[in-house]
Amino acid sequence: MRITFSMRFQILFGVITALFLVSIQINASGSSVSPRPNIILILADDLGYGDCSITNPESKIKTPHIKQLAKEGLSFSDAHSAASTCTPSRYGLLTGINPVRTGVLNTLLSAGRAIISKDEKTIAHLLKDQGYATHMIGKWHLGFDTGGKKKDFDFDQAFIGGPIDRGFDSYFGIHSSPGAFPLFYLKDRKAVAKPSEKTSWEKMKTGGGTTTIKGLKSPDFELDEASPTFCQRAVELIRNHADSNSGQPFFLYYASPIPHSPWVPSKAFKGKSGHGDYGDFVMQLDDLVGQINQALMDTGLDKNTLLIFTSDNGPGPHATRLMAADDHYCAGPLRGSKASIYEGGHRVPFIAKWPGKISPGSKTTAIINFTDVFATFAQLLDISMTTYPSAKDSHSFLPALLGSSNTHPRPAMINGNYSIRQGPWKLSSKGNKKHSDSTKIDASQFELHHLTDDLAEQNDLTGEQPEKSQQLLNELTRFIKQRQLK
């Protein structure tokens, strides 16, 4: 049969139409997005669930820029950091691995080696493999291969095992918490300047009062200038990317040192909150969120940028105690604070904005964990997780992020060594107690809470729900037995 020009045209039109419909289906499912979005992840340091009005209407601290971000995007009411302290939380966020599985704690930093192993891939690796330019600014706190103790730094040598060796193209920041001596800036693998000047800051003691912490800093480092310096670099990175007209997408992981102690608000924010240095510092954090959001809008990059804001864990105990005296509750209605297995230790603000993809002013009760970010980015880019087997505890919440579902059907969530969450049920070791021998724990050492009815974790239901308590304990002990500690 002879194929006429008309028939050829019809066949070609049919193929093009079919390809177009397939493209629409892929985009509608949320499994692949074209063009690939820029991604910015802002991580606050020790910001409590109750410090922002979006998660705590009773907050005494004004956070208008965070509130505006929520109006422009989606806010999660049941989002959780991977742990209730800095190092394991950041480890879980970047790797998709529950830190309980590998025994990552802040104390592991004393070993003088990088916390993230070479065979553990990060979200920076994932995105770099897809052609992203990957950048980090701010607090690392995941160690370096120093060959000795945590702070045995050789300033004449490269810092190995940090961001540049774990998937990032560029890095500017600090090695640990903002007040952890020695104080200096790192650029990629090298110290910008050697610590050579004496300095000090006042640290609050657990029982009240303060003590003077002394150490060395580099000539270019001042505590109250660190955060403004990081923010300026982040805004410059955004503007430079826009000016370059590059078709390459970028990922920015901005790990802010605010509002971790020492609370050193810059001059522009000193006294602004009316609630002490901590309140001023939170307002400064809010301002940097506004600056980054505004830079995206000014450059037009916001139209194809997924912007996420969250916190690495709950509020510090000193902030919680002092601010409560001022009628401000850093954890809001939640029990506990930083380092606690209760909700106040790891339930955190989590807001995502992406114009045209995320409905403005939306809210979700989906239960998500930092470890789930890895798989979410993978599904967003249509990448199989089998390519990244190390991210064992990551479960994509992309449907919840894009509004097609208000739930996130993930397996039970382990919060610290001795707490487990499944749906509304949560089993926790009584009084946040640690157990030296996990083989000898039993249900009598735990308390059971139904978080839908008891968000403050005040009513122990183990006596009324013995079967549920035992079921959760069995799952927790099974997970603990599978651990392979670093």
| Residues with catalytic roles | 86, 141
String of DSSP letters for 413-472: EE-STTEEEETTEEEEEGGG---S-GGG--GGGEEEEETTT-TT-----TTT-HHHHHHH
What would the two tokens of residue 114 be? 């990088």
Q: Point out which residues pair with 74 in neighbouring strands.
A: 352, 362
Nearest 5°: phi and psi at 22? -60, -40
Give the containing element (helix H, strand E) for 309.
strand 305-311
Q: Point out which residues pair with 76 in neighbouring strands.
A: 350, 364
State CA 391 to chain mean position distance: 16
Distance CA 53, CA 258 (A): 17
Give the containing element (helix H, strand E) for 65.
helix 64-72
Whether omega before 262 lies within 30 degrees of 0, making that bond cis, reads yes
Distances (CA, A) of 372 to 114, 198, 232, 409: 22, 42, 29, 11
Q: What is the DSSP letter of 32?
A: B
State CA 472 to chain mean position distance: 26
String of DSSP letters for 356-403: TTS-TTEEE---EEGGGHHHHHHHHBT--GGG-TT-TT----HHHHTT
> Residue 207 CB: number of other CB atoms within 10 A?
5
Distance CA 477, CA 468 (A): 14
Q: What is the CA radius of gyration of the chain?
A: 23
Which of 127, 128, 177, 187 has its CA nearest to residue 151? Answer: 177
Distance CA 107, CA 88 (A): 10
Distance CA 175, CA 173 (A): 7
